[in-house]
Amino acid sequence: MLTDEQLLANYTRGEQRAFTELADRYQQELFAFLFRFVSDGATAEDLFQETFVQVHRNAASFDPERKFRPWLFTIAANKARDFLRSAARRTTHSLDNVARGADEDSATFLDLMQSDIAPPPVELQTAEDIARVQRVLAEMSVIYREVLVMSYFHQFSYKEMADMLGVPLGTIKSRLHAALAVFAKTYKAGEAVET
């Protein structure tokens, strides 16, 4: 099986089927990422298509030394952020008193699991849980939502997220820790209301 990078290279050499294979390969994962980001299926579908239009336009300028997946998700995250800005859905939460995250540059969300803050559920077993998680994510500010979605749902490392979002590694760690705290507090408050 060809790597993503090989498929993109084949596409730039005129093999149309390679582009279709890339889109098919990422259809579920990228759509899920976008859906969690914007909380709307139709919008996520539109953003998915816009992301691959941009991949098409920029395929020839892709650096073959890089990995395709982080590049693709960077494009998708930018599309989602642009949509949310234009829709004026953005809310903010204070980043004051945020504790530092893990020390490893390649650490992921799972490294925060040893925090004293309760993490979001590991397995979402019911539609109710999924809907509640989606509501909590939709209420979070974009900067928190994007790091949670990238790290928890798609397992990007801190370093990959810093590169993708164009911010320092320490900022990613702070945002992720704060996002986890906001998520846990909001999720727990929703549970208390339902019981």
Q: Is residue 75 part of a domain?
A: yes
Rounded Cα distance, 133 and 128, in Å:
9
Please report where in the chains the tokens 């945020």 appear, as a residue: 98
137 falls within a domain: yes
Residue 191 banded pLDDT, cuts 50, 70, 90 = low
H helix intervals, 101-152: 127-139, 142-148
Residue 100 lies in a domain: no
Which residue, of 20, 53, 86, is where some domain finishes? 86
Question: Of the candidates 48, 71, 86, which is a domain's last residue?
Answer: 86
What are the pLDDT digits (tens) for 75-88? 999 999 888 888 75
Give dist(CA 178, CA 12) in Å, integer: 41
> Is position 23 within any domain?
yes
Host domain of residue 71: 4-86
The answer to whether residue 116 scores a pLDDT higher than 50 is no
Q: Mind listing the pLDDT tens digit for each residue in 1-19? A: 899 999 999 999 999 999 9
| Angle of helix 16-38 versus helix 41-58 axis, rounded to 10 | 140
126: CATH: 1.10.10.10
Residue 121 belongs to some domain of the structure: yes
pLDDT at 92: 41
Question: What is the per-residue pLDDT for 17?
Answer: 93
The CATH number covering residue 78 comes to 1.10.1740.10
Least confident interval from 83-87, 93-97, 102-106 = 93-97
Residues 70 and 125 both lie in one domain: no
CA atoms in the 13 A half-sphere facing the CB of 131: 4
Report which of residues 57 and 115 the model is more confident about.
Answer: 57
Number of domains in the chain: 2
